Amino acid sequence: MTCPLDRSRSATRVKCLIVDDLQENLLALSALLREEDVEVLSASSGAHALELLLVHDDIALAFLDVQMPQMDGFELAELIRGSERTRHIPLIFVTAAVSDHQRLFRGYESGAVDFLYKPIDPHILRSKAGVFFDLYRVRQQLAQELKERTETLRLNETFAAVLGHDLRGPLSAIMMSAMVMQRRATDDAVRDTAGKIVVSSKWMSRMIYNTLDLSRARLGGGIPIAPADADAGTLVDQVLEECRAASPEAIIQASTTGDLCGHWDADRLCQVFSNLIGNAMQHGASGAPIVVELDGTAADGIAVTVTNKGAIPAHLLPQLFEPFKSKSHYESGHKGLGLGLYIVREIARAHGGTIEVLAPGDGYTSFRVQLPRRATAPSPAPAALAGGGAGPGSGEN
C-alpha cells in the first residue's frame, strides 16, 4: 500500500545545493545525494551559489562548506537568510574544523539547522538529507492542496452568488402572483394559502439576500455600502411596521432617545434592524416582549439594542457571529441559514461600528450595535462579547 508521502515522492522532484571550493568534495557529495527524484546543484564559491539561487527558487536543502576563500560559509548563509526568496532554505554547514562552541554559536546564528564534520559518514549524510527532502515534498503537497481548496471555495462562493441572483427573478414572480391571489380571492382558504405563500416568499427572499451578502463579503473583502444622510428612528419604524405585519402575534416595544440622524447606508441599516429583530422573534421566549432601544445621546454615534427573553448556550458564544456555525445546534425546524448575525456584523464593520452580545445571566439576551455618526473605515476588531450566560432560547438566524 502506498502512503501519501510515497506518492508525493514520485511526483515532486527536489533540488539540493552543494557549495564547496574543492571539486573533489563536490563530486563526492553529489554522488552520495543524487537520486532519481533529486537534482544536485553544485557551486564552487559563494558567488556561484548566489547565482544559482537567483535562477532556482525551489531548493529543498543547501550544504555549505564553512572554509572557503573570498566568501566563507557563514557569510554566504547570512546573505541567503537576508533574502526573502531564499530565507526558507534549510542550511547545513560542512566543516573539517574541530567542533567548538564559538563556531557552533556563529553557525546557528547565521541560520544553520545542523553541522556535518569531515570526514563525512555517507549514511548520516543521506539520512539527514532525506529528512529535509521529505519535509519539502510534504510542504509542496500541502501548498498544492491549499491552492486547490482555495480555488474550490472561490468557485463555490461564486456559484452561490450567481444562483442567488438568478433565483430572485422567479421568486419575485411567485410573490407578486400570491399577492394578487390574496387580494382578489373570495374564498377564505385560498386567501389564507396565498398569504402563506407571500410570507414564505419573503422569507426565501431574505435568505437569498443574506447568501448574496455572504458571497460579496467573502469575495469582495466586505459588504459594500453607499452612505447618505438618514434617520435611524425612521428606519426602525419602517422595519417594525413590516415585522408586525408579518407576525401580528409578536410583542415589540420600541423607545428612542437623542439625535438619531447620521450618514449611513439606509438599506443596510434596515437590514441590521430586520435581522436583529427577526433573530429575537425566532429565538426569544414565546409571548415575551422584544425591546428595541435607540440611543442617540452621544455626540459621536448611536447605539441600537435589541433585547429578548432567553439566554444563549455558553458553547455558542465564541462562534455566534460566524456564518453557518451555530445552525446545527438548534432544532431541525429552525428557519434560516445561520447568516443573520454574520451579516449584521459585516454591515456594522463596513460603517466603522461594532456589535456585541450582552448575556448577563438573568435570562435575557441583548445585541448592541454601535455606529459612528458618519460611516468610517471598517473596524479590524472582531465582534466583542460581554458577560456570560447559559440556557436555551436565543441564537442567530
For the stretch 292-327, pLDDT in tens is: 999 999 999 999 999 998 888 777 777 787 776 544
pLDDT for the residue numbered 395? 43
Domain boundary among 200, 220, 240: 220
- Within 10 A of 384 (CB to CB), how many other CB atoms are there? 13
- Within 10 A of 297 (CB to CB), how many other CB atoms are there? 9
Instruction: Name the H helices within 70-187.
Output: 73-81, 101-109, 122-184
Domain with 82 in it: what CATH number?
A: 3.40.50.2300
Beta strands in 122-251 (DSSP E): 228-231
pLDDT for the residue numbered 99? 60
Same domain assignment for residues 201 and 235: no
Domain boundary among 171, 202, 220: 220
**What average pLDDT does this structure show over 136-157?**
83
pLDDT for the residue numbered 107? 65
Q: How confident is the model at residue 198 (pLDDT cuts 50, 70, 90)?
A: confident
Buried b (16+ CB within 10 A) or exposed e, 32-62: bbebeebbbbbbbbbeebbebbeeeeebbbb
Same domain assignment for residues 196 and 336: no
pLDDT for the residue numbered 333? 43
Same domain assignment for residues 277 and 160: no
Instruction: Name the H helices within 221-252.
Output: 232-246
Same domain assignment for residues 78 and 113: yes
Same domain assignment for residues 234 and 374: yes
- For residue 308, being part of any structural domain is answered with yes
Same domain assignment for residues 234 and 380: yes
Q: Say what the pTM is.
A: 0.51
In this structure, what C-alpha cell is assigned to residue 269? 441599516
Q: Reduced to 3 states, what is the DSSP secondary structure of residue 115?
A: strand
- For residue 251, being part of any structural domain is answered with yes
pLDDT for the residue numbered 224? 79
CA 225 to chain centre: 21
Q: Are 52 and 44 in contact (CB under 8 A)?
A: no
Same domain assignment for residues 240 and 157: no
- Within 10 A of 250 (CB to CB), how many other CB atoms are there? 18
Same domain assignment for residues 164 and 254: no
Q: Reduced to 3 states, what is the DSSP secondary structure of residue 319?
A: helix
Does 355 have pLDDT greater than 50? Answer: yes
Q: Are 266 and 228 in contact (CB under 8 A)?
A: yes
pLDDT for the residue numbered 217? 64
- For residue 144, being part of any structural domain is answered with no
- Tens digits of residue pLDDT in 356-385: 988 766 788 899 999 999 987 554 444 333
pLDDT for the residue numbered 101? 57
* Domain that residue 236 falls in: 228-387
In this structure, what C-alpha cell is assigned to residue 388? 456570560
Same domain assignment for residues 249 and 202: no
- For residue 394, being part of any structural domain is answered with no
Span of 19-23, 202-206, 374-378, 393-397 with lowest mean pLDDT: 393-397
- For residue 135, being part of any structural domain is answered with no
- For residue 134, being part of any structural domain is answered with no
pLDDT for the residue numbered 352? 92
- For residue 289, being part of any structural domain is answered with yes
Span of 55-59, 286-290, 332-336 with lowest mean pLDDT: 332-336
Same domain assignment for residues 238 and 365: yes
Count: domains in the chain: 3
* Mean pLDDT, the chain, integer: 79
**What average pLDDT does this structure show over 31-43?**
88
Domain boundary among 182, 201, 220: 220
Domain with 345 in it: what CATH number?
A: 3.30.565.10
**What average pLDDT does this structure show over 146-160?**
76
Same domain assignment for residues 207 and 276: no
d(CA 321, CA 313): 14
